[in-house]
Structure 1
Amino acid sequence: MNKIISIGILFFVLGSTSVFAQAKNDDVLIAKDTLKSNNIDPLTPAKAAFYSAILPGLGQAYNKKYWKIPIVYGAIGTSLYFYLDSNKKYHQYRDAYKRRLEGYSDDDYTYLDDSRLIAGQKFYQRNRDLSALFVVAFYALNIIDANVDAALLQFNVDENLSVRPVVYPNDVTLRTNVGLTFNYNF
Structure 2
Amino acid sequence: MLNRHLYTFVLCLFSVCLLFSQKEKDSTSLGIDKEIVQINQSVIEKKPIDPLRPSKAAFYSAVLPGLGQAYNKRYWKIPIVWGAIGTGVYFYIRNDNQFDRFRDAYKRRLAGFTDDEFYGDGLTPQISDDGLIRAQQQFRRNKEVALLVTIGLYALNIIDANVDAHLLQFNVDENLSLRPHYKFNQLENTTDLGLTLNFNF
Instruction: Tell me the TM-score normalized by structure 2.
Output: 0.64
Which residue of 1 is the match for residue 150 of structure 2? 135
Tell whether 2:156 aligns with 1:147: no
Size of the aligned set, in residue pairs, is: 142
Which residue of 2 is the match for residue 41 of structure 1? 50
Following superposition, the deviation at residue 144 of structure 1 comes to: 0.7
**Equivalent residue of 2:41, what SS?**
helix
**Within 5 A, what are the aligned runs for 1:1-80?**
32-33=41-42, 35-80=44-89
Deviations 1:110-157 (A, max 9, x none): 110011101100000001011111111111111111011001100122
Following superposition, the deviation at residue 105 of structure 1 comes to: 1.0
Q: Distance in 1 between matches of 2:101 and 2:117?
A: 9
Which residue of 1 is the match for residue 90 of structure 2? 81
Q: Which runs of 4+ in 1 moved over 4 A?
A: 158-164, 181-186
Contact 2:178–2:198 (Cα < 8 Å) also in 1: no
RMSD (Å) for aligned C-alpha atoms: 2.6
Instruction: Tell me the TM-score normalized by structure 1.
Output: 0.69
Following superposition, the deviation at residue 38 of structure 1 comes to: 1.9
Following superposition, the deviation at residue 36 of structure 1 comes to: 2.6
Q: Distance in 2 between matches of 1:183 and 1:156?
A: 18
Structure 1 residue runs of 5 or longer lacking an equivalent are: 1-28, 165-180
**Within 5 A, what are the aligned runs for 1:107-146?**
107-110=116-119, 111-146=126-161
Higher Cα radius of gyration: 2
Percent of matched pairs sharing the same residue: 55
Structure with higher helix content: 1
